[in-house]
Amino acid sequence: MSRVLRAARDAAPEARPGRTCPVSYRYSPRVFDRKAELEAHTLYVVGGLYGNVEALDRVLDLAAAESGVTLAFNGDFHWFDVDPADYAAIESRVSRHARLRGNVETELARDDSDAGCGCAYPDEVSDAEVSRSNAILERLRDTARREEPARSALAGLPMHLVAAVGTARVGIVHGDASSLAGWGFAASRLDAPEHRRWIEDAFTHARVDVFACTHTCLPAMRHFTHARGAAVVANNGAAGMPNVALSRYGLLTRISVEPYRGPALAYGTKVGGVFVDALRIDYDHERWMRRFLASWPEGSGAHESYHRRMREGPRHSLAQARPLALP
């Protein structure tokens, strides 16, 4: 067993709904050492849309403002969209583009699962929050059952993709280099010295220049070096929720052979001959909040877990997200 897979196994959380990481979620970083399925001049990786219709509107506007943009939705594009009309709108518009299944889509496609929401939450997340996420998933599954062919199709979506942008190879994942719901690319883990070797080995085995990910809800962009050279992990946090304190915008990852010249740039870097940027998704926040509260009023699980973040942003800053080169 490789060091990367052994580390993923040893780090597996306790096997309870919402904390477990099913074996079916796992893969080797070596799976990325393959021919690219996507070729793009400019690639938008949009993770954690979470059913935010207004954020999707803004993503499509940003893409339309550039030429030759390829969109890839890397999971959890559903979540808060329990209203059937909202769910159908997200599903129909996202399905026109490349997409992965996140833990949300994977569990929606199942009738029952010991994985709960499939988030594989680490120990620092409270049991109460885990329980609320499991309940959100159950309610969303009731909505998804109204669109049965589309729900079944979610199970067939890939867990990962490889894209070629110019001369750079990009591994697109939901979680991390070895699991659909992995937390190995969480902001806190990216800066942990003891975790650096795991990430460097993942890049070596995957033979990619960039890993573009989401899942862990807080953004971070970090440089690494490995046996083949320089690389970047770009975690966009969430496209459909605020990502830093006192903000009201989502983020997406833009990877391109051309520099970004628009007003939405939050931060960025360059690796492997491509520009890797985080773009702000300045969606209509008040309209989104009306939509959110109509489905998730005070007292609901999603309101308890997410309303404060929607209004105030998380305890995370742009300084923590920006691309720091590790020593």
Structural domain count of the chain: 1
Of 199, 296, 302, 216, nearest in space to 251 by CA: 216
Evaluate whether 197 touches 7 at the Cβ level (below 8 Å). no
What pTM did the predictor assign? 0.93
List, edge to edge, every strand of the sheet that includes 220-226: 38-40, 160-165, 168-173, 210-213, 229-235, 220-226, 324-325
Alpha carbons 301 and 180: distance in angstroms, whole number: 24
pLDDT in tens, 289-325: 999 999 999 999 999 999 999 999 999 999 999 997 5
How far is Cα 307 from Cα 109, in angstroms, rounded to an integer? Answer: 27
Give me the pLDDT at residue 227, please: 84
Q: What is the C-alpha to C-alpha distance for residues 201 and 7, in angstroms, rounded to an integer?
A: 11
Residue 54 structural domain: 3-325
Across the chain, mean pLDDT equals 93
Domain containing residue 183: CATH number: 3.60.21.10
**Residue 68: CB atoms within 10 Å:** 12
Per-residue model confidence as pLDDT tens digits over 267-292: 999 999 999 999 999 999 999 999 99
List the beta bridge partners of residue 254.
44, 277
Tokens of 87: 């769910």
Q: Per-residue pLDDT tens for 240-263?
A: 999 999 999 999 999 999 999 999
